[in-house]
């Protein structure tokens, strides 16, 4: 196992019920794709008027208080299932001051971010599976605002199973897809410390282990055991001899598609690229907007089965289109011709 040390900005999303003396002075926007925006609303509601848009990664948002979400007591006493149910029933909204404009934003997109914050220490570990084995067991300890990244190579079609047991109840892990600095495809705080799912594309995935902000600020520590397994055969891309690639890219074809994205008020045109893995409709679709939004979806035999979104994925068929929806914030229309070719 190779070990590298880096210093990066923290990862954890705070879900405490109210801004108290323990709450941060400032927030940073997290979980929004590069080039995207977080809506600043007049009231703590997803249907309230938009009074501003905060760019992805923006920091120095002054904390004016939060409502909803889970209390520290709920986090430390409730089961993961009950935490998720209560979070959905009572979402967290935070009032912030963004460059003189005051409004409300969804708490799930905020993390602590002081204007002159000192970056917590990050340890990055490269996970290598021993020859002939598809599972590794890892042990570690974190304290305060540290976090540990376990990076491993995965491929489309493989099933990842990650499970962690920790001595501290506020010790969780997130799963980040390839090329994502902090936007997770799985969030342990809401889903629990066990993930099982198919990987949508090829690349370096990251399991990020951390303590929630409230525990980190108290300099709490946690010992943890993390089991990581990769199962199933990788779905390899079709070679050039069977389906030619666009020169200088890994893609077999590209097309403009209709898309509606979070924090955008109207239907847009996004660029969709395909890596075909068979001629039966097995392929990875990558979607980008002009603002660099990226979503990756794995289709098997023409049906979407996995994505790199933390949101719930649903789909329906309309003519020769697969109409994708990720909760209410994101909708995509994928044409059959892109998936199957021809």
Same-domain check for residues 103 and 130: no
Same-domain check for residues 257 and 321: yes
Neighbouring CB atoms inside 10 A of 278's CB total: 17
Instruction: Write down the pLDDT at residue 129.
Output: 87
Q: Does residue 248 fall inside a structural domain?
A: no
Q: Does residue 280 fall inside a structural domain?
A: yes
Helix (H, G, I), strand (E, B) or coil at 74: helix
Same-domain check for residues 13 and 102: yes
Task: Report d(CA 105, CA 45) in Å as an integer.
Answer: 8
Same-domain check for residues 222 and 273: no
Q: What would the two tokens of residue 274 be? A: 């395909």
Per-residue model confidence as pLDDT tens digits over 136-163: 999 999 998 888 999 999 999 999 999 9
Q: Does residue 244 fall inside a structural domain?
A: no
Q: Does residue 108 fall inside a structural domain?
A: yes
Same-domain check for residues 48 and 102: yes
Q: Does residue 301 fall inside a structural domain?
A: yes
Give mean pLDDT, residues 38-60. 86
Per-residue model confidence as pLDDT tens digits over 272-330: 999 999 999 999 999 998 767 789 999 999 999 999 998 889 999 999 999 999 876 78
Instruction: Write down the pLDDT at residue 333.
Output: 95
With DSSP H G I counted as helix, E B as strand and the rest as coil, what are the percentages for the chain, rounded to 5? 10, 45, 45
Terminal alpha carbon distance of the chain: 44
Same-domain check for residues 185 and 278: no
Query: Domain ends where: 112, 132, 166?
Result: 112
* pLDDT of 21 strictly over 50: no
> pLDDT category, 266, cuts 50, 70, 90?
low
Q: What would the two tokens of residue 36 be? A: 């995207």
Residue listed under structure tokens 């409300």? 104
Instruction: Write down the pLDDT at residue 135.
Output: 93
Instruction: Write down the pLDDT at residue 214.
Output: 79
Q: Does residue 21 fall inside a structural domain?
A: yes
Domain that holds residue 56: 2-112
Residue 78 maps to which CATH number? Answer: 2.30.30.40
Same-domain check for residues 22 and 100: yes
Instruction: Write down the pLDDT at residue 23.
Output: 59
Q: What percentage of residues in the chain have a pLDDT greater than 90?
A: 46
Domain count, the chain: 3
Q: Does residue 240 fall inside a structural domain?
A: no
Q: Does residue 246 fall inside a structural domain?
A: no
Instruction: Write down the pLDDT at residue 225.
Output: 97
Least confident of 97-101, 185-189, 204-208, 305-309: 97-101
Query: Domain ends where: 88, 112, 136?
Result: 112
Query: Domain ends where: 57, 87, 112?
Result: 112
């Amino acid at each position: 196992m190779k070990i590298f040390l880096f210093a990066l900005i923290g990862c954890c999303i705070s879900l405490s019920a109210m801004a108290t003396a323990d709450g941060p002075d400032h927030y940073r926007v997290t979980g929004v794709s590069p080039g995207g925006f977080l809506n600043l609303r007049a009231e703590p509601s997803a249907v309230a008027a938009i009074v501003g848009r905060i760019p992805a990664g923006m920091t120095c948002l002054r904390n004016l208080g939060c409502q909803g979400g889970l209390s520290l007591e709920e986090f430390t006493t409730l089961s993961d299932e009950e935490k998720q149910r209560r979070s959905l029933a009572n979402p967290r909204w935070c009032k912030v001051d963004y460059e003189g404009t005051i409004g409300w934003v969804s708490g799930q997109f905020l993390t602590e971010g002081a204007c002159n914050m000192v970056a917590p220490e990050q340890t990055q570990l490269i996970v290598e599976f021993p020859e002939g084995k598809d599972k590794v067991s890892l042990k570690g300890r974190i304290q305060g605002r540290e976090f540990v990244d376990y990076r491993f190579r995965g491929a489309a079609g493989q099933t990842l199973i990650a499970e962690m047991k920790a001595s501290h109840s506020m010790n969780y892990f997130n799963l980040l897809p390839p090329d994502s600095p902090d936007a997770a495809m799985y969030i342990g705080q809401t889903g629990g410390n066990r993930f099982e799912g198919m990987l949508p594309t090829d690349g370096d995935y990251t399991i990020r282990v951390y303590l929630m902000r409230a525990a980190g600020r108290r300099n709490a520590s946690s010992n943890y055991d993390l089991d990581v397994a990769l199962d199933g055969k990788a779905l390899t891309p079709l070679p050039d001899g069977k389906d030619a690639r666009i020169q200088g890219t890994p893609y077999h074809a590209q097309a403009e598609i209709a898309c509606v994205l979070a924090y955008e008020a109207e239907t847009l045109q996004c660029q969709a690229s395909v890596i075909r893995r068979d001629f039966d409709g097995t392929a990875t679709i990558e979607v980008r907007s002009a603002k660099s939004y990226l979503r990756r979806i794995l289709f098997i035999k023409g049906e979407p089965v996995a994505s790199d979104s933390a949101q719930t994925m649903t789909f329906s068929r309309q003519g020769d289109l697969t109409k994708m929806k990720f909760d209410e914030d994101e909708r995509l229309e994928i044409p059959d011709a892109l998936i199957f070719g021809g």
